[in-house]
Amino acid sequence: MTASIFTVVGVNRRTGPAELRDRLYVEDEAVPALLDRLCAAGMAEAMVLCTCDRVEIWGAGNAADDGAAAFALLAETAGMEPRALLPQRFLETGEAALRHAFAVAASLDSEVIGEPQVLGQVKAAHRLARDAGRVGPHLEPILQAAYQAAKRVRNETAIGQRPVSLAAAACQLARDVQGDLSRCRALLIGAGDMGEFLMQQLLASGLGGAVVIARTARRAEALARRLGSHYALLEELPDRLAEADIVVACQGEGRYMLSADMVEGALRRRRRRPVFLVDLAVPGDIEPAVNRLEDAFLYDLDELEQVALQGRAERETAAGAAWAILETELAGFRQRQAEREAVPTLVALRAGFEAARQAVLAELPPDDPARPALERATQLLVNRLLHRPMAELRRMAVTGPGAAEEQVVAEALLRRLFLDVPADDTPDDTKDEE
């Protein structure tokens, strides 16, 4: 049986800009059709993960070039030319793809490490693919192992405390500047996960209302629906800015969404009522010169972290511990998978030896007084003969990628010598007597 190859392919924040990711974004209702096309192209098991940081296909197939075919389908779904997107393509297979999936689920590959929404987004993509019948025996164990790793990271490290502490610091600063949040309106610029989380915390703290602006109307509308808020178009930004008491920016497209002149104009229209701004984007969305404006209070991630009393050293320590957990979980998953793949040959080998043992015993008279002793002796003999080859197969299975070819050769040889013997090739014992 051909081993399934786990593949991750798409565009993420490391390889392509936010504008490209927005164009590739696959709405939930379009996912089943894309999964059907992926299956027809050879990737029978797959799911589509779309977040602010990534648009990726996670799949399992039998061909090494499944990733290229999947990426072409993703690009074509967005009406784009696959070849033109190759410089922005992210593609990993095998071990590297596994490590990436575990890191994403544990929120170690996010712009803000520890973002609480990421695991939920992975699970939502998983459910959508499972409902479409595109999750099976290869993809399901990988996802369950990634969830277990993410749970350990969340429970055993402080990695998940950073977003919570950043949001708590931002909410407290917003109260310090604006007072009663129930009288305030907020503007969220961008569909980033951390921006959504912060807006959720502000709303939970009594925020009076919010408006969402994103690069595309469909992203803004979807996010506003999740937040129970309103949305507006990008061209409405100046008007919405003038209405906002709190501004949260997380667009992250590499240019300033808000300049000092824009904010100054909004302050004049607000008759100098103060505005509290949070820039969660990397690189920033808000021109730093805004901080020099009277009645504008701008904080970025580093400044929020200082307020939350979480320094770089603590963050790096937590991240190091989280990666150590991930490596342990990856090693355990690889071992379980390798042992599972070796089981059919081990079972068949033992069954073949047992059949031969029973055939020899069947030649004895049923009432032979020596039969019980022979039963025991032949059983011990089979166990001892099988111990070494079975132990070696298990060792090859868990040694790692370097032993994979050795294991395949060994299994094929064992099957050829002991299991795949045609009926007319039964040894003739009389030849030895001659």
Residue 319 CA to chain centroid, in angstroms? 17
Whether residue 166 sits in one domain with residue 152: no
CATH number, domain containing residue 269: 3.40.50.720
Q: Which DSSP helix (H) or strand (E) runs through 45?
A: strand 45-50
Q: Domain of 62: which CATH number? A: 3.30.460.30
Give residue 383's pLDDT: 84
- Alpha-carbon distances, residue 419 vs 339, 351, 356 (angstroms): 20, 9, 11
The answer to whether residues 147 and 10 belong to one domain is yes
Q: How many domains does the structure of the chain reveal? A: 3
pLDDT at 423: 39
Boundary residue ending a domain (159, 174, 192): 159
Are residues 154 and 173 located together in one domain of the fold?
no
Q: Is residue 385 part of a domain?
A: yes
> Distance between CA atoms of 211 and 202, rounded to whole angstroms?
13
Residue 3's closest CA among 393, 408, 403? 408
pLDDT of residue 427: 46
Which domain range does residue 181 map to? 161-310
Q: What is the pLDDT of residue 245?
A: 96
What count of other Cβ atoms lies within 10 Å of the Cβ of residue 170? 23
* Boundary-marking domain end, from 118, 135, 159: 159
Q: Does 316 fall in a domain?
A: no
pLDDT at position 421 is 46
434 falls within a domain: no
Question: In this structure, is residue 84 part of a structural domain?
Answer: yes
What are the Cα distances from residue 211, in Å, to 17, 226, 246, 371? 24, 12, 11, 85
* Domain match, 165 and 155 both: no
Q: Which residues of the chain fall short of a pLDDT of 70?
A: 1-3, 64, 161-163, 308-316, 338-343, 394-408, 411, 420-434
Q: Assign 3-class secondary structure to 195-262.
A: HHHHHHHHHHCCCCEEEEECCCHHHHHHHHHHHCCEEECHHHHHHHHHHCCEEEECCCCCCCCECHHH
Taking CA atoms, 295 is separated from 78, 247, 256, 365, in Å, by 43, 13, 20, 103
* Residue 112 DSSP code: S
Q: Which residues are catalytic?
A: 52
Q: Nearest-CA neighbor of 293 among 307, 279, 278, 275? A: 275
Residues 166 and 303 grouped into a single domain: yes
Per-residue pLDDT at 403: 53
- Per-residue pLDDT, 295: 93
CA distance 308 to 315: 12
Cβ-based burial of 399 (10 A; exposed 0-12, middle 13-18, buried ≥19): middle
Residue 247 to residue 227: CA distance in whole angstroms: 15
Same domain for 109 and 165?
Answer: no
